[in-house]
Amino acid sequence: MINVVLVNPEIPNNTGNIVRTCAATGAALHVIEPCGFSWEDKYLKRSGLDYWEIADVKRYPDTDAFLKANFGDNARTGATDGLAVRATSEVSDVQMLFASTKSAENYTNVSYDKDCFVFFGRESKGLPEELLHENYSKCIRIPMRAEARSLNLANSVAIIIYEYLRQHGFEGLKEQGRLTQY
């Protein structure tokens, strides 16, 4: 399964839309706080619609708590976030990728492991550069025009989830629809 990791998201509508995308695709969503909004925010709830009931959303107070909860004894905490994440990935042999406009690697050039974690940063700044630096060989980028600063966070998450799903044959998803009036 693909695990989406949001690091300090700031805009409730984006996070709500990501909840909906994760629910519709079976992706797990991990949110590392602090967030720039309250979890009681009406825009967050509205964007997620009624998908909150089928969404797999977990929240963590910080990166160390995220690593401990998901990697147990393989979690390497106490170091800087970048080093802790890199060491945990190496020890646990779990693929961790980092979506960033600062990457040189196209997201379609990566072979996504069946179980992987893809990190996304806050809307205003992206992922911390220290985290990117320590894990730069695992950074991926969605191509865009040079004049553009970035894509919307919710759109970026959806693009990468669907590349993962495409590579894994859309396993578990309904691939065909039907007309309802005819």
Residue 172 lies in a domain: no
Residue 78 lies in a domain: yes
User: Is residue 48 pLDDT above 60, yes or no?
Assistant: no
User: Is residue 45 pLDDT above 70, yes or no?
Assistant: no
pLDDT digits (tens, 9 = 90+) for 113-140: 999 999 999 999 999 999 999 999 999 9
Predicted model pTM: 0.93
Residue 30's pLDDT is 98
Q: What is the mean pLDDT of the chain?
A: 92
Percent of the chain scored above 90 by pLDDT? 80
Residue 56 lies in a domain: yes
Residue 92's pLDDT is 94
Q: Report the number of distinct structural domains present in the chain.
A: 1
CATH of the domain at 100: 3.40.1280.10
Residue 93 lies in a domain: yes
Residue 80's pLDDT is 86
Residue 179 lies in a domain: no
Residue 17 lies in a domain: yes
pLDDT digits (tens, 9 = 90+) for 133-170: 999 999 999 999 999 989 999 999 999 999 999 999 99
C-alpha pair distances (Å), 69 with each of 88, 109, 169: 12, 30, 29
Residue 177 lies in a domain: no
User: Is residue 60 pLDDT above 90, yes or no?
Assistant: yes
Residue 152 lies in a domain: yes
Residue-range definition of the domain harbouring residue 125: 2-167
